[in-house]
Amino acid sequence: MAQNKVTTLQAINTALHEAMAQDDSILVFGEDVADPEEGGVNGATRGLSTEFGESRVRSTPISEQAIIGAAIGSAMAGMRPVAEIMLMNFSTVAMDMIVNHAAKLRYMSGGQTAVPLTIRVTTGAGFGTAGQHSDYLEAWFAHTAGLKVVTGSTPAETAGLLKACIFDDDPCIFIENLPAYWQKGEAPEPGQTIPLGKARIAREGSDVTVVTYGPQVAVAEAAAEQLAEEKITVEVVDLRTIQPWDRDTVLNAVAKTGRAVVSHEAVRAFGVGAEISSVIHEELFDQLRAPVQRVGAPSTAVPYSKALESAFVPDADKVVAAIRKTLK
């Protein structure tokens, strides 16, 4: 099946091509996204402007507020814009547009206007881009009512979820992990979309449940492999949609094992894991055999030096240690 392997980047590119071919109202814009600019610095949007024209696929000025504003307005007027904010840190420049407008216009208008936009953002420590290029802000977006926050863990998952976001009628923050761009996996089925709000059991197990998302799914799987040698079986839940998240799947999976670890690359304190952990404790207090453990980055900026950066991102050892804590 080697010929069926694709990178995440290819999967994203294919998903965008498919979506644009399917629906004329889809627009793509962001810095360098058109083909004269090489379809983005990583090539995620390569080929789109050649196929669909530079009216629908536009390279923008470096103006993140205007980019998201253009997305909001066109979405309200019935288009389905896919705006790219190159790196998640740069979304801070457009935070007003995202949070005070995109997220709220449906609510503030009493349902008269919808904002079906997708904001693609990339992030992820690992390439030495340091403090201003590697932040994880999903907890912010999840805390913001009205946004949907989505991320994939494999090329096929990424493609299916991205298309679901594009065709969803709400503003979606779609998070792409930069180091994962060049990782390979099974190619997505053509035409496939993955429903939002539904988690996936990435691996079955009966001793401990790890709830996670994005690149940490593979880390959790690696941790599970490690523990399988000791006959400890680990269930891995891939959230896919971080908000609104799939409480039923998570709670069922944890109820089954009575033990849980929540893990993400983002800073642990006040992170997404805190919400998941709290709800698990609230709902399954009597069934839990140990307190839920959280794995995440320390409360620091992402450091540059390889020596420090690699200690910043939680690895399988940290997940294994957290799992062991629940087994004590």
Partner 1 sequence: MNQASSTPDKAVLIDMYRKMTLAKQNDEQARKVIMSGKLPMIYYSPRGQEVIPAAVSVNLGAEDYICTIYRGIHDMLAKGVPLDSLWAELAGRATGTCKGKGGPMHITHPESGCMVTTGIVGSSMPIANGLALASQVRGEKRVTVAYFGDAASNIGAFHESLNMASVWKLPVVFVCQNNRYGEHTRFEKATAVERIADRGAAYNMPGIHVDGNDPLAMYAAAKEAVERARAGEGPTLIEAMTFRFYGHVFGDADGYMDKAEKEAAMAADPVPRYRQWLIDEGYASDDELTTMEDETGKRIRAAIDGALEAPWPDESELYTDVYVNDFSAA
Ligand X SMILES: Cc1ncc(C[n+]2csc(CCOP(=O)(O)OP(=O)(O)O)c2C)c(N)n1
Residues 23-62 that bind ligand X (CB under 6 A): 31, 62
End-to-end Cα, the chain, rounded Å:
42
Binding track over 41-70 against partner 1, x by CB under 8 A:
x-------------xx-xxxxxxxxx-xxx
Polymer length of the chain:
328
Contact 279, 292 (CB under 8 A): no
- Phi then psi dihedrals of residue 28, to 5 deg: -130, 125
Q: Taking a C-beta distance cutoff of 8 angstroms, is the pair 154, 194 a contact?
A: no
At residue 266's C-alpha, the angle toward residues 264 and 268, to 5°, is 80
- Residue 290 interacts with which of a second copy, ligand X, partner 1, none, CB < 5 to 8 Å by class: a second copy
Q: Tokens 């900026």 identify what position?
A: 301
Does the annotation count 281 as an active-site position? no
Closest CA to 236 of 175, 168, 157: 157
Residue 145 interacts with partner 1 (CB under 8 A): yes or no: yes
Tell me the window of 8-16, 54-62, 170-178, 292-300 that interacts with a second copy (CB under 8 A). Answer: 292-300
Is there binding between residue 182 and partner 1 (CB under 8 A)? no
Give the interface size with partner 1 as a residue count (CB under 8 A): 75
* The pairing of beta strand 26-30 with beta strand 80-87: parallel
Q: Which of 17, 101, 133, 264 is catalytic?
A: 133
Angle at 51 between CA 46 and CA 57, to 5 degrees: 65
Q: Which of 17, 58, 104, 256 binds a second copy (CB under 8 A)?
A: 104
72 lines the binding site for partner 1 (CB under 8 A): yes
Q: What is the largest CA-CA distance in the chain?
A: 60
Mind telling me the catalytic residues? 133
Residues found near ligand X in the complex (CB under 6 A): 31, 62, 64, 86, 90, 93
Contact residues for a second copy (CB under 8 A)?
89-90, 92-93, 95-96, 98-100, 103-104, 107-108, 130-132, 135, 139-140, 142-143, 145-146, 243, 266-267, 269-275, 277-278, 281-283, 285, 288, 290-294, 298-301, 303
